[in-house]
Amino acid sequence: MPQVDLCFSPELLALYHLPGKVVVVVDILRATSSIVTALANGVTHVFPVAELAECRALGEQHGCLTAAERDGRAAAGFDLGNSPFGYLDGVVEVKGRAVAISTTNGTHALRRSLAADAVVVGAFLNLQAVVEFAEAQQKDVLVVCAGWKGQFCLEDTVFGGALAARLAASGFDVTSSDATLAALHLWERAEADLPAYLLQSSHVRRLNSLEANKDFVFCLQLDAYPHTLPLWRTDRLVNEVMH
Amino acid sequence: MPQVDLCFSPELLALYHLPGKVVVVVDILRATSSIVTALANGVTHVFPVAELAECRALGEQHGCLTAAERDGRAAAGFDLGNSPFGYLDGVVEVKGRAVAISTTNGTHALRRSLAADAVVVGAFLNLQAVVEFAEAQQKDVLVVCAGWKGQFCLEDTVFGGALAARLAASGFDVTSSDATLAALHLWERAEADLPAYLLQSSHVRRLNSLEANKDFVFCLQLDAYPHTLPLWRTDRLVNEVMH
């Protein structure tokens, strides 16, 4: 019976054995939610990058759109910020384009996970797509939380709990890992009102005060994009079409 | 207002700023529970050591009692195992003696915490002693979970939640850290029946199957030793007499 485990911080990834596993990278606020939204809205592929300079270079050399922010706003000289609405509001035409997205935590989590059999990107927006991919693979699943400055964060953990709850229903073992048990219990507490639950978090409240409340509400929608599964291929994230 | 934070693994300690803080090292099953029991029952001081060879050397050179286990049993050539009952059952006379205790996770957590203003040892057994020490210090508190093989574990986390619940009642801020919020929520779920809650954990069940069920039940008692506070001084843990 395949198992579900959670790693609360990329800093702990060295403790996990990745070969044979499916890794789900999650950074709900907002990197992985934005990546899912991008691929769901016609972006052809995404290059996640850690540094602004690398993001700019991909834009100049490969003609990608570039997405970056500093302190909650689109950084100067980039096409988009880190809001998922950049792929929805029509200000920049994104259909058919590739995007280089600057996301420090998310990129570290991704790059450290590449020894896994498959690396996908998860968010509440594409929860069911992640569930169906895991069900099709029938391999152990490790949710890698990008965390907040390397530390535990509630929103990524609660996503892990929501994923574990659905995979438990299709026969995955969710009781072999204390981290998974904790995430499940937190999800069961959060589920009835996810935004209210997460607004207890001080770093979520800080993000919210940066006029990002609209993003916050958007990123907590379950299954808005149930057919979008960003899958790592060679050097980029592409949308894996589910069969 | 002083804050309560939790670090889920010694592997994450580099992310925390320790000066000015009180660190509470916790390894409920069973290192810190045994250390509290030792000092509550007449042991003069405890040397926590990571390696069996170091433990043996302290015994030979300093005349300490030695406590060590491998695979859930007292290791050959040592006076005691890692069960708290070694300090209670009268088989070895412990009153007035120093003890070198071998505990890999607990020792790592302690040694990595020494930049803090004070390092104490916490367990359910001495929960109230930890609460009163923190109240007297009025400094930020960081609970450092020894964890299980470096990973998140439920029993240490739930202890952190119990501590946070009591410190919240005396004015500490327990909402600035997502880890503390999660620990509080898990404690609120576990509180009504702590043994049943923790027996959901597969590594707790494995420990239990090693004929350590008696230890497990003992270690989950709240406030059995409310006046015992193991405090780090120079190179050892001594019982800090509370005023």
Mean pLDDT, residues A132-146 taken together = 97
pLDDT at residue B242 tops 70: no
Interface test with A, best of B16, B112, B152 (most A CBs within 10 A): B152
Using DSSP, how many helices (H) and how many strands (E) does chain A show?
Answer: 9, 11
Q: What is the mean pLDDT of chain A?
A: 94
Given A150, A179, A200, which is nearest B181 (Cβ)?
A: A200
Tell me, what's the pLDDT at A242?
Answer: 62
SS3 content of chain B, % helix, strand, coil (to 5): 45, 20, 35
CATH superfamily of B4-237: ComB-like (3.90.1560.10)
pLDDT digits (tens, 9 = 90+) for B61-100: 999 999 998 766 678 889 999 899 999 999 999 999 999 9
Interchain CB distance below 8 Å, B176 and A202: yes
> Residue A186: its chain B contacts at CB < 8 A?
182, 185-186
Q: How far apart are CA A117 and CA A187, in angstroms?
A: 27
Share of chain A above pLDDT 90, in %: 84
pLDDT band at A72 (very low <50, low <70, confident <90, very high): low
Given B9, B151, B178, which is nearest A154 (Cβ)?
A: B178
Q: Which has the closest alpha carbon to A133: A222, A241, A221, A30?
A: A241
Tell me, what's the pLDDT at A210?
Answer: 64
Distances (CA, A) of A166 to A159, A222, B14, B141: 11, 12, 35, 36
Question: ipTM score here?
Answer: 0.95
Interchain CB distance below 8 Å, A15 and B181: no
Q: How far apart are CA B66 and CA B69, in angstroms?
A: 10
Q: How far apart are CA A128 and CA A134, in angstroms?
A: 10
Least confident of B24-28, B103-107, B150-154, B205-209: B205-209
- B168 burial type by CB count under 10 A (0-12 exposed, 13-18 middle, 19+ buried): middle
Interchain CB distance below 8 Å, B11 and A12: yes
Interchain CB distance below 8 Å, A178 and B186: no
pLDDT at residue B144 tops 80: yes
CA dihedral sign, ordered A217, A221, A225, A227: positive
Given B6, B175, B201, which is nearest A181 (Cβ)?
A: B201
pLDDT digits (tens, 9 = 90+) for B7-41: 999 999 999 999 999 999 999 999 999 999 999 99
Interchain CB distance below 8 Å, A177 and B202: yes
Are B189 and B90 a contacting pair, CB within 8 Å?
Answer: no
Read off φ and ψ for residue A197, nearest 5 degrees: -60, -45
Give the number of beta-carbon pairs within 8 Å between A and B. Answer: 75
pLDDT digits (tens, 9 = 90+) for A143-173: 999 998 889 999 999 999 999 999 999 999 9
pLDDT digits (tens, 9 = 90+) for A171-227: 999 999 999 999 999 999 999 999 999 999 998 888 777 668 899 999 999 999 999
Q: Which architecture, in CATH terms, is A4-42+105-233?
A: Alpha-Beta Complex (3.90)
User: Strand, helix or coil at A207?
Assistant: helix
Q: How far apart are CA A175 and CA A179, in angstroms?
A: 9
